Amino acid sequence: MLLHDFDLNISVQFSDFFTFPPWDIPQFTSLNPFSGFDKSSTAPITFQQLFHHHRYQYSSFVPIFTDGSKSDGHVGCGVVFPSDTLSYRLHNCCSVFTAELVAIFCALQELLPSNRRNFIIYTDSMSALETLSHYDNRIHPVALEILSVLQFLRNKGFNIIFCWVPSHVGISGNETSDVIARFASDFLPRALPYCDIKKFLISHLLSVWQQKWNLLTNNKLYSVKPSIGLWSALPMRELDVKLTRLRIG
């Protein structure tokens, strides 16, 4: 109903929790060659050297960089292959977290025609990797898609590793994926996760409510509380009640 009222021509993506039986839930692990190095106190050149050493160890794996971006109402995802790039603009309702997951999903989808079998996917989203490693009934629907296609590829003989990389420290593949995600123009039509739609609707409703409230400047409560939202709670309910009575007269 709300989607219709706001003229949002989008469909909702739900998680199919029965995609995997309990005894066949995909195992997901990831690498972090930068463990122990705090970004705030480590020079970018150090991260670059650590990454070069890591690539030397995994030189037989084809590197793929993924990233998601959301800024100024623009949401996009980008994938960088050794000789190609892929980028899509996503619906404005999407969160940056969803964009990160969609980028990983798009990267995996492109691997099936490849003659190579060893790949390593780099992302700067630790939250995406943590979500993929913890399967439960609240898992993000795009994460479920990733695990499904990952299992399919592994059954076809693919060896796919995931690795976290820090953002904005001069790792070229990560920097490129960030840029193409921010400037992606080709729209990718997808159903949107319920969590993203809910967050968008709440934000939109609050905005409409605030606009209507701003028109009621003669209301005696407007001068007390010009901005909608929750009052900051006091530690004791008795004090909260007294303060509320004072506010509303």
Spatial neighbors of 71 by CB under 8 A, at least 6 apart, are: 182
pTM for this structure? 0.86
The helix, strand and coil proportions of the chain, stated in percent and rounded to the nearest 5, come to: 40, 20, 40
What span, in angstroms and rounded, lies between the C-alpha atoms of 143 and 131? Answer: 7
CA–CA separation, 165 and 109 (whole Å): 21
pLDDT at 24: 81
Instruction: Note the pLDDT of residue 32.
Output: 97
The class (CATH top level) of 30-193 is: alpha beta
Domain boundaries defined on the chain: 30-193, 198-248
Give the pLDDT means over successive 10-residue stretches in the chain (249 positions).
60 79 83 94 96 97 98 93 96 94 98 95 97 88 95 95 97 97 94 89 89 89 84 83 80
Judge whether 126 and 164 are in contact, CB under 8 Å. Answer: yes
Q: CA 86 from chain center: how many Å? A: 17
Predicted confidence at residue 2, as pLDDT, reads 56
CA–CA separation, 46 and 165 (whole Å): 13
CA distances from 8 to 75, 88, 113, 208 (A): 16, 20, 36, 16
Tokens of 139: 């898992």
Q: How many CA atoms lie within 13 A of 111 on its CB side?
A: 30
228 CB-near residues (< 8 Å, 6+ apart)? 206, 209, 210, 213
